[in-house]
Every structure is written in C-alpha cells, then in structure tokens.
C-alpha cells in the first residue's frame, strides 16, 4: 500500500514538473490586475515556505524584521516583498504573492499567484514591461523543479524530528526505568529490613513472654 501511494505521488510530481506558469488576472483591492499563476502539488504551507526559500536565493531576506515578519506583511490577501532583484530585470520589483488551496478537496495542491509592481498600486503587465515580466515568469517556472527538492528536504527534516522525538521518548523511558529500579532496590532493602525487624521483634516478644511466664510462675504454684 505504501509503495502504491509513493507511486501515485511520483506520478503527480512528474505531471506537475511539466507545468509552467501561465498568465491570468486576479483581484487586488477590488481591481483586476495582470498576474502569473503556477500550480504545485503541495499544500499551502509548503508552497509559502518554498516562496521564502527561493527569495533568499535571489539575495533578498524576507525575515529582516523577525522570523515570520513576511507573514505579517500582508496587503489585500497578498504577501508583499519589496524591491526584489530578479535575474534579467533591470530594476528591483515588488512581488505580491498569494497562495490558495487549489480546491476544497485537493488539500495537497496549491495555486501560487504573483503580481509585479513598482510603487503603491502600480502594477506591471507583460506589455508595460516585458523584460521584467519574463524575468518573473522564469523565476516562477524555476519553482517547479526546485520545489521537489525543497519538499524532499522538508520531509527529511520532519522525519528527522520524528526520529529525534522517538529517541528522546526512549531516553525518557530509560531514565524512568533507572528511577524505578532505584525504587525497587530501596523497596527490597526496606523489605529486608522489615523482615529482620520482624524477626527481632519476634525474639523480643518471646523474651518478654518468658519474663511474664516467670512472673506468673510462683503464683500458679501457690
């Protein structure tokens, strides 16, 4: 069953690997804007993390104001990254990313939308700046092959965490065993002492009874 699931996953990745970004339009601030769209066979969390990872490769640091600053820097449903330098583009560009789940049922598939802009509400189209738009398209197309490696590394990291957690749990169980063994050893010592005390107490009782019998002896004879 696991092999069959892995086979289906591999087929899905191969199918998506042939995909490329396409032109579309999306609503931003209630206005339709030209955009690029790319589908990936991963959930939205993975796709969001992958975007950040790829931005770092351009020299851009999306976490300059805290680990999750980029998630807080959101406008009209889009994550905004200012002044990003894309290969082939003559000037820095603002990237507006939106990541949606493909459908309600397809939880492991997401759609990335990308708007390009320079300045507030000044969006670029393929006709207004073809070079920049092509650079962004190439940048987005690069996600297809690179995302598989990113997801694999993410799965490896997650599995390493699972193994570490399991090992930590085993270490805790071993420590508990040591504590239990110490308690058992102490209980055995306490039990031995209790048994010895019982023997001593039995001897004491026998001695005291003998004294009592000795005291009662003359009276009985009288």
The pLDDT-based confidence of 8 (bands split at 50, 70, 90) is very low
Q: Which residue has the higher pLDDT, 13 or 133?
A: 133
Q: For residue 1, what pLDDT is reported?
A: 45
53: buried, middle or exposed (CB in 10 Å: 19+, 13-18, 0-12)? middle
Sheet containing 78-84: order of strands: 22-28, 31-40, 110-117, 93-101, 78-84, 74-75
Q: For residue 66, what pLDDT is reported?
A: 44
Q: How far is CA 9 from CA 15, 62, 81, 155, in A?
A: 10, 30, 32, 13
Q: For residue 188, what pLDDT is reported?
A: 96
Q: Which residue has the higher pLDDT, 122 or 7?
A: 122
Question: Could you tell me how far CA 13 lies from the centroid of its own chain?
Answer: 21
Sequence-distant (6+) residues with CB within 8 A of 78 are 28, 96, 97, 98, 113, 115
Q: For residue 81, what pLDDT is reported?
A: 86
Q: How many CA atoms lie within 13 A of 107 on its CB side?
A: 0
Q: For residue 114, what pLDDT is reported?
A: 92
> What's the average model confidence in pLDDT over 174-179?
96
Q: What percent of the chain has pLDDT over 70?
A: 84
- The whole-chain average pLDDT of the chain stands at 82
> What's the average model confidence in pLDDT over 179-190?
96
Q: For residue 72, what pLDDT is reported?
A: 60
40: buried, middle or exposed (CB in 10 Å: 19+, 13-18, 0-12)? buried
- Any idea where the domains of the chain sit in the sequence? 2-163
State which of 16-25, 63-72, 159-168 shows the largest mean pLDDT. Answer: 159-168
Asked if pLDDT for residue 13 goes beyond 80, the answer is no
> What's the average model confidence in pLDDT over 194-212?
95
Q: What percent of the chain has pLDDT over 90?
A: 28
Q: How far is CA 91 from CA 49, 70, 116, 136, in A?
A: 25, 22, 12, 12
Residue pLDDT, tens place only, 55-110: 887 777 766 544 445 566 677 888 888 888 888 888 888 999 988 888 777 778 88
Asked if pLDDT for residue 221 goes beyond 70, the answer is no
């Amino acid at each position: 069953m696991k092999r069959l699931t892995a086979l289906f996953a591999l087929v899905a990745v191969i199918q998506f690997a042939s995909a490329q970004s396409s032109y579309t339009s999306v609503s931003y601030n209630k206005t339709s804007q030209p955009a690029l769209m790319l589908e990936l066979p991963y959930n939205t969390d993975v796709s969001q993390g992958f975007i950040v990872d790829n931005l770092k490769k351009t020299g851009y640091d999306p976490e300059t104001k805290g680990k999750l600053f980029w998630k807080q820097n959101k406008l009209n449903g889009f994550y905004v990254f200012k002044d990003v330098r894309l290969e082939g583009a003559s000037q820095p560009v603002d990237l507006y990313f939106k990541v949606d789940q493909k459908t309600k049922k397809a939880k492991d598939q997401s759609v990335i939308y990308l708007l390009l802009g320079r300045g507030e509400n000044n969006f670029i189209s393929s006709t207004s700046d073809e070079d920049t738009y092509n650079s962004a398209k190439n940048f987005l197309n690069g996600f297809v092959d690179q995302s598989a490696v990113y997801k694999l590394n993410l799965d490896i990291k997650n599995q390493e965490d699972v193994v570490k957690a399991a090992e930590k749990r085993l270490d805790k169980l071993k420590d508990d065993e040591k504590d239990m063994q110490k308690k058992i050893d102490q209980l055995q010592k306490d039990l031995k002492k209790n048994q010895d005390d019982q023997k001593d107490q039995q001897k004491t009782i026998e001695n005291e009874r003998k004294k009592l019998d000795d005291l009662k002896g003359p009276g009985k004879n009288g």
